[in-house]
Structure 1
Amino acid sequence: MISTKRAYNFNAGPSALPIEVLQKAQEELVNFNNSGMSIMEMSHRSKDYDAVHNDAIARFKSLFSIPDNYEVLFLQGGGSLQFTMVPMNFLNEGQTASYILTGSWSEKALKEAKLLGQTQEAASTKENAYRNIPSLEDIKFSETDAYVHLTSNNTIYGTQWKEFPNTGEVPLVADMSSDILSKRIDVSSFGIIYAGAQKNLGPSGVTIVIIRKDLLEIAKTNIPTVLKYSTHSESNSLYNTPPTFGIYMLGEVLKWVEEKGGLEAIEKNNEEKAKLIYDVIDQSNGFYKGHADVESRSLMNITFRLADEELEKKFLAQAKEEGFVGLNGHRSVGGCRASTYNAVPYETCKALADFMIEFQSKNQ
């Protein structure tokens, strides 16, 4: 069995997985479903794997309340490949794609789209060091745009959309890699949602795409076969060999979410976990300084600084000694970051909050 001694894992991704899921995978790793094989060894065309694959799709559709006019695809390449696939499939000559910039990942998405067609910035909070999400009235786009793209949660800067823009007939495309399945949303507000699995859904290697069926019908056809969404829709995401173990793990994570009470319970738990840490920051009289504006704070990535780099280094070093992992801020901005994804237990967040209070009392 897996040792009960577990790190306080705040890694930003790949990130914590539910211990129950890891234990289930350990039990089935060598002999899945009495097949005499691991799920990693069997054909992706086999009946055993086919059941796993389709069950994961069905559970995801049910948990995320996905309407019938949407497809769920299992792809590879992470969110980074989606930065290219979205404009490659939908940005036609003579059209413009609008991008809302709220951090590094939306910048990277825009950079890839510029290689494939005309783009514009619909809004940006870069001048404010990405401390906030743009107000809805500041978002500028045209009714003739190919789509409007946003990043729902910003892992590096610790901001998150609380309310999404209404783009009318223009498809809204969202990179939800770091907060998918962390709260309830109205999927019908989006044309496309995509997400890497490695934060809330499972291990790295699987990319999930939710796409409205009518968009599949208008996508460009003069692009490489494997980069067409329609290719994967028509083949039930089995056009080429899928990441079978990752999809198996994703299915087990979805079962875990169901057992925890579904998205309503997960969302409530995420709010409570984040509050533990934000309360310490807010009540520290400036000892800890949050990066994100209060109204834009993320429930998934809590970013903060201390008075100076030397104190931060001391904080991070002592935290590591106490068993905390992954508290360093992103290499591009420094500081500290606690990623409190779905599988990070409440007790782990409580332990961090207690450590932060104790560290402040000894270092003021």
Structure 2
Amino acid sequence: MSRSKLPPADAVPEVAEEAAVPKVSPPARASIRDVAEAAGVSLKTVSRVINEDAAVRPEMRERVRQAIAALNYQSDPLARSLRSAHSFAIGLVYSNPNAQYLVSLQNGALSACREQGYGLQIHPCSTPAHGSVQELLALVQRSRLAGLVLAPPMSEQRELVEALVAHGVPLIRIVSAGDDPRDLDGCVRVNDRRAAHAITEHLIQLGHSRISFLWGEGYYESSIQRYAGFMDAMRDYGVEVDPALVLEGEFSFNSGFRRARKLLALASPPTAVFGSNDEIAAGVLAAARSVGFDVPGDLAIAGFEDSPFSQLTWPPLTTARQDTVEMGRRAALRLIERVRQTQSGKAVDPISEHFTPELVVRGSTAPPRRR
């Protein structure tokens, strides 16, 4: 039996050469050239489809869109704006210290911009009076913004709004309003008045008659509308309002705490407190605990907005749920719609969105305990 000769240990075995098969995979970040090659069209055609040129044939537009989807191509709004006579970015302007409100609003606006291929620039103003017409016009020109979403309280400054409109800046405003149908064009309207009525009605129907209302800052229209809703419900049910139980202040935990300590020191304290937002209501809850009041047995507490404050307290707060993310999203979508109408030379349609915060009953409210 013959033995086959073994190759040396360091020999490299020969492998039959295979035909090279290129591996095709989408690039890490697809370019407009990749889209053109995939669709079999020119770069100009892809650009016209991205810029929504109506002259592109429907079948050609569909080929390009399929290629964009297959490659997950994302255009750069700033680069598009620089190449085009039109802008593909909008701004969100605010001067609101409520971090949770702002984050939710920004997330909603950003989702709409990504969906529509637009960029979003956030512009804070330190105070409501800080946001001058000149500042915002400079922002629009410097950043080549197609329009602005104005959040409260910037959106409620009539002179500012009228001046921006006079300079041709497309706007959508997020505003607090009641059932008054006037002046709603270009607005995302939040019916704080109706929601505040529902909260107050809930407290009255539980059996409370000594109900306190704690304002936020008076220059916010939401403060005015929520107080109006409170007064509406008190009148509707024939419940007397004690002026000593209605206190001005700020939309903050500390302001709610300080005012609640004053209320609870009264000879005849309230049996229920309606804070204009959840931070105020959380401050009231802390004040009640600090002086030995049981919540909700000795004191029922309600807030507004359904922020994390309302769910992190114990008991969790009765409140009015406000979908701030969706409000921001709708505002950005309506602004982009208005911008496109303006850019195409079409008549601008009246635009209005309506939201009514929904009453959410939790453990912080109950019938009054007989003192």
**TM norm structure 2:** 0.31
Task: With a CA cutoff of 8 Å and minimum separation of 6, indicate the structure with the bigger relative contact order.
Answer: 1
Structure 1 length-normalised TM: 0.31
Larger Rg: 2
